[in-house]
Amino acid sequence: MTGQSWELVGAPNARDLGGLVGADGRRVRVGQLIRTPALGRLTDDDLPVLAKLGPACVVDLRDGTEIAVAPEDRFAGEPRVVRLPVHDPEHPVFTYVSAVLLGHDLDAYAELARQGTAGAMAAIYRWFVTGESARVGFAEAVRLAAQPENLPLVYHCSAGKDRTGWLTVILLTALGVDEAAIRADYLRNNELTESLRAVIVEAMRRRNPELDVDAVLPVLEVRAEYLDAGYAEVRRVHGSFDAYLRDGLGLTDSDLSALRVQLLE
């Protein structure tokens, strides 16, 4: 059960994490922690819905190069916008996802097809754990979520599934939500974006009749194997998720306690 009782047409995988059961059986507060894709495709009808959600702060995990070529985020009201770029130019997946979403020529496509896009996606999730900008950005996002003046908090990347997905794993684990519920939320992306994926693939196929759909889909979906790659890297480098929160992200007992105070009922 989550707190979602609304829908954003231009952000089909947006959802409220409220209602999930966290530490000591306390539920995540409804309407306080909202994950979305980039907000540049929101429709006019979406804006009143966003206004009701009333975000005080919007965290954008995209790099400036991604923001520059995307439609400008649409807001209701004037939330504080904090940019925490989690981006590695060495990983062409970032460029590729942006290119796919924006309908650009797929410059990175050939390289990704060579290395296998599913493998490239798993590598990205391992990088989420160890990469410098990932550790800095995710840690700062958690600290923002622990401060009452930033709530409700909306956070997003481009597609709202990978960087946004891993940040959700971090937040929900820190709140004491069990792994099965975290995994279920993560995998919901595919169901919520099914029609959008079909539209994107069809548009790409029209432009390129030789399109290898099997090479494209791993970038458009979330998969259990990606999440497992992230979890395995946490165990390899830190031994446990708790150690990752503290040593990898530098979150203190005070940070984690404040997060639970603000976000658990």
> Which of 8, 38, 59, 157 is an active site residue?
157
CA pair distance 86, 106, nearest whole angstrom:
21
Residue 157 annotated among the catalytic residues of the structure: yes
For residue 53, give the H/E element and its range: helix 46-53
Give the pair of three-digit tokens for residue 119. Answer: 């493998």
CA pair distance 5, 166, nearest whole angstrom:
23
Q: Got the DSSP string for 129-173?
A: HH-HHHHHHHHHHHHHHTSGGG-SEEEE-SSSSSHHHHHHHHHHH
Give the pair of three-digit tokens for residue 102. Answer: 């924006």
Query: How far is residue 132 CA from its own chain's centroid?
Result: 17
Cβ count near 43 (within 10 Å): 12
Give catalytic residue positions. 157
